[in-house]
Amino acid sequence: MPDLKLTVNGIEATVLADPSTSLLSVLRKHFHLTGAKYACGEGQCGACTVMVGGEAVRSCVFPIHNVGQKYVETIEGLANSAHLHPIQQAFLDASAFQCGFCTPGMIMASVALLDRNPAPSVEEIRAGLAGNVCRCGTYSRIVKAVQSAAKAGRNA
């Protein structure tokens, strides 16, 4: 098994793992970052969403050899110690969760969505996040959270 260098949330580490290992499993086991969740393991639900090189990926089906030189960013790296990221704050303000198991993935997918489209319509939010499942059914609240984060971003 080769050594692979990964930079996660600004911290570089060397990982001894098969290159086909999923990024999700490396994040959870080697980095002890458990914010990204396993829920389906086949790219269907978005609970494992993290950013690689600024793009949202399904880390459960993303092999570590595809990371290359790109930075990996997880939910744990989004806030700085005192302040939540505006999207985290918007989720909190809208109580856009119940059990919260989908939330890290939802937030990362929302970050990517607003990067692409800083002023999405309701329909664009729904379509943009359609790959993320919230089994507790808090979709309306998530849409509101993303809308208000977008608005706050425009006013900033």
Contacts with ligand FES, residue ranges (CB under 6 A) = 38-41, 43-48, 58, 60, 97-102, 134-136, 138
Q: What is the DSSP string of 58-91?
A: EGGG-BGGGTTT-EEE-GGGTS-SS---HHHHHH
Pick the closer one to ligand FES by CB: 39 or 152.
39
What span, in angstroms and rounded, lies between the C-alpha atoms of 7 and 33?
13
Of the pair 71, 101, the CB lying nearest ligand FES is at 101
At 139, the amino acid letter reads: Y
The residue ranges that bind another protein (CB under 8 A) are 18, 25, 28-29, 32-42, 44-45, 47, 74-76, 78-79, 84, 88-89, 91-92, 95, 97-104, 107, 125-127, 129-143
For residue 35, the minimal CB distance to another protein (Å) is 2
153 touches 104 (CB < 8 A): no
Return the one option of another protein, ligand FES, none that residue 66 interacts with (CB less than 5 to 8 A, by type): none
Q: Which of 14, 75, 32 is nearest to 50 (CA)?
A: 75
